[in-house]
Homo-oligomer: A and B are copies of this chain.
């Protein structure tokens, strides 16, 4: 029952894949380039390319020859067909849904976001997700048939097979038929993954963690989740609970599931209640006692001591989590991302001061620059990985390439 054995056709499949892989991250190439890159013969390379063109994954560039020498017969130029289809990357959060449409090399072609109505039930949320997706596709000018895969980030534990884990008490109920009901008619492959894990994929792909194969990303906002990359691979653990530090019991109380935003609000509100003199009061205004995290960061930036004290407490808390991460996983870099990443730079001095006190081998710490799109970006990467792994089994339904024999 093993069926790992090979036939001559498998050979071709291997070479098709090898050539396609090279072309994907090298742009336009000539046959000679591919010989150099793959070690195959010219005859084979050309045959493989023709094969890929017939399948729609590669197109031939007409027109002027490439740079370099001008002598000799002009080389045919082949290019990975980035518009042989597209993928969708979704961030389905508690309150909002964000959709990115990307071409097969990752170019963003469209985007849309929408808030869920607070009264929506499961069907209502599905409708919102479908509508937002359609808007993003419309912006990209692509039909539904162009979509080859969909990656979705959720604020819940997802195991390594893409199944939502029951029994891990994370935030809300996310098992709302995203795979089964939502896009049934289109037959899209839908891949689910934890949002923090996708944040890690995103940072590893095109963020400050690019090229760092041992990476942890703390997705900090209302919640606190961690995405862990070891040797370039995501860690899930037996139930997809790896990195779900939401339930971590820390030294300084306050509750257990709190992300940065929630902490800032909590301590900010407390400071106001105690009647401390602070800029936070002026920023919040007279109308409400609700302190948003933004105001605390803003006040701290203006040298307000109460706000700065709050940031220090948050920073020490983060440093504690980072030191534990460093001890158990020894990442090279820890990236802070999520809703508060815009202001998180203010936490860095405290964190960097605290870390060496907690561990002898502190990791580097950086703040994400992907902003709100961090999870959706990772979702795109997840979908692309699926397409890359299954390219030869999929049928590209591209935007207008002839399907000649």
Contact = CB atoms under 8 A, between A and B. Distances in A.
Interface residues of A, number: 62
A247 B360 contact: yes
A241 B228 CA distance: 15
Interface in A162-188: 167-169
Given A40-B5, A239-B361, A359-B247, A328 B332 contact: no
Interface in A224-250: 226, 228, 230-231, 233, 235-245, 247-249
Contact of A5 (B39, B237, B243): B39
A5 B38 contact: yes
Contact of A328 (B6, B238, B242, B251): B242
A251 B249 CA distance: 12
Interface in A32-48: 36-40
A18 interface: yes
A324 B167 CA distance: 19
Given A241-B326, A245-B327, A245-B328, 13 more contacts: A3-B39, A4-B21, A4-B38, A7-B11, A10-B11, A11-B11, A213-B238, A226-B328, A230-B235, A238-B363, A243-B328, A249-B359, A251-B251
A2 B236 CA distance: 30
B37 A2 contact: yes
B5 A160 contact: no
A56 interface: no
A242 B18 contact: no
Contacts of A243: 328
Nearest to A251: B251
A220 to B, nearest CB: 16
A41 B7 CA distance: 10
Interface in A1-34: 1-8, 10-11, 14-15, 18-19, 21-22
A22 to B, nearest CB: 6
Nearest to A26: B2
Q: Is the interface of A mostly helix, strand, loop or mixed?
A: loop
Residue among A11, A323, A325 with the most chain B CB within 10 A?
A11
Nearest to A230: B235
A354 to B, nearest CB: 12
A385 to B, nearest CB: 16
A361 B324 contact: no
Interface in A281-304: none
A358 interface: yes
Residue among A160, A328, A329, A358 with the most chain B CB within 10 A?
A328
Residue among A4, A5, A169, A226 with the most chain B CB within 10 A?
A5
A105 interface: no
Contacts of A249: 323, 358-359
B10 A5 contact: no
A143 B241 CA distance: 49
A218 to B, nearest CB: 12
A79 interface: no
A19 B241 CA distance: 37
A380 B249 CA distance: 39
A330 interface: yes
Nearest to A323: B249
Contact of A231 (B6, B236, B245): B236
Contacts of A359: 247, 249
A331 interface: yes
A203 interface: no
